[in-house]
Amino acid sequence: MNAKEIEQIKQWEREHVIYPWKKQGWYEPIVIERAEGIHMFGADGKRYVDFCSGLLNVNIGHHNRHVLDAMQAQMEKLCHIASSFATEPRAKLAKMISEVTPGDLDYVFFTNAGAEANENAIKAVRWFTGRQKIYSNWRGYHGATAACSTLTGDPRRIPCEPGIPGVGKFFGPYCYRCPFGYKDNKTCGIQCLETLKTQIMLEGPKTIAGIFMEPIVGTNGIIIPPVEFMQGVRQICDEHGILLVMDEVMAGFGRSGKWFGCEHFGVVPDIITAAKGITSGYVQLGVMIWNKKVWDFFREHPFVGGLTYYGHALACATGVANLEVYHQENLIEKSRINGEHLEKKLWELYEKHPSIGDVRCKGLWACLELVADRKTREPLAGYGDCKQNVMGEFTKRILDLGLWAFAKWDYIFLAPPLIITPAQIDESISILDKALEYPDSLLKK
């Protein structure tokens, strides 16, 4: 595109586009024209490494020929039909999902996105149990719809309050900053579990319908809980007839080096919600997946839910082709193996950059947590940017250097497409190395 065409796009954006998550009127995004593999290309021809897979969803990389061909073939046959009819892609995708989910999580309800999957899971746990209350993690995110904002613990919840009634919060184990001050991970996990048990006892266990949690916390800093905590939560749910809902919207479909994040802990939830990697973002799709116990209940009771685009044929065909790519290219295993390489390279950066306080990585899913002081772990930007906006400037600098990595508060997220090679990881790490000079420069001398 020439400079005039690019300016025209920017002008229409300025004049007519409402931006999500931002104050309006000051933001000027880069115009992207196309993307291929791990790269995106600006309208001005500049190449960027997409080291965050879009918003951690383009797991198979951009412009995958197998998926594009499948989409085109489906479009020639049928894009959409009323959800009361069956289609081959919908049936096939549900079957393929049931083959990769743990335990008896074999029953699939289709949605348009992750938040809508969680909205439906809220209904499902309430109707199944006949109870109203839901618990979720303070350091958790579950989507931007009204109910999901209530389940969210982080500051994105606050402007949406008061939210839906009946939602309580617990402290999940954030071992780098243990909410109870413990230094070792195992004790942090055990203390969080004991506190949750006490909360539930005081709340009245028979009033709680569901516990919603991410298996590994995503946008609140890739927080990996100790296995004792996760298994303990499963036990609490079993003891009191509470349904365990694992929000795998970000973790699911290979991001963490397994099909689903809960597999790292040997925990099988009652319901999984997922989206993002199910189609790698080629079109929108989400799912709520039930185990047999939940399915059996709804054989006798109607599930009152489902939007116009439920089980959208084009979206499901995209999902089928996308899952085929995971299998054909062995991407789940690649995420695990290349994730180990990524983690090693990030610890090398830790040795060089004093602004890095912690490195957390599982599969091709990593976070650098920045600090003002490694010893005291004083945050650099602060939770919700309460001290200073470091990441706005960091993002600008890293994009100038040709790399996209989502960054907010004290967290830099690194989650490239699962097709990335070790050599491409190394190339991106050297860009990151340069960009980290900026937060280093903010440290007190």
Ligand X SMILES: Cc1ncc(COP(=O)(O)O)c(C=O)c1O
Q: How near is the Cβ of 444 to ligand X at its closest, in Å?
A: 33
Binding interface with ligand X (CB under 6 A): 113-115, 141-143, 214, 218-219, 247, 249-250, 275, 286
Please give the span between the terminal C-alpha atoms of the chain, in angstroms, as a whole number. 45
Nearer to ligand X, 107 or 365 (CB): 365
The answer to whether 109 and 120 have CB atoms below 8 angstroms apart is yes
Q: How near is the Cβ of 242 to ligand X at its closest, in Å?
A: 20
> Which residue matches tokens 């996209």?
404
Lookup: tokens for 386: 């309460």
Beta strands per DSSP E along 321-365: 356-361
* Nearest residue (beta carbon) to ligand X: 114
Q: How near is the Cβ of 57 to ligand X at its closest, in Å?
A: 8
Q: How near is the Cβ of 335 to ligand X at its closest, in Å?
A: 17
Q: How near is the Cβ of 282 to ligand X at its closest, in Å?
A: 14
Q: How many angstroms separate the CA atoms of 154 and 151, rounded?
A: 9
Other beta carbons within 10 Å of 341? 16
Nearer to ligand X, 61 or 114 (CB): 114
Nearer to ligand X, 219 or 335 (CB): 219
Whether omega for the bond prior to residue 215 falls within 30 degrees of 0, making it cis, is: no
Nearer to ligand X, 58 or 275 (CB): 275
Range list of H helices, 207-280: 227-240
Nearer to ligand X, 234 or 255 (CB): 255
> Which residue matches tokens 């949690």?
213
Q: How near is the Cβ of 62 to ligand X at its closest, in Å?
A: 18
> Which residue matches tokens 């991410």?
214
Nearer to ligand X, 18 or 86 (CB): 18
Nearer to ligand X, 269 or 439 (CB): 269
Q: How many angstroms separate the CA atoms of 60 and 62, rounded?
A: 7
> Which residue matches tokens 């001398």?
445
Phi-psi region of 402 (alpha: psi -120 to 50; beta: other; left: phi over 0): left
Q: How many angstroms separate the CA atoms of 107 and 98, rounded?
A: 7
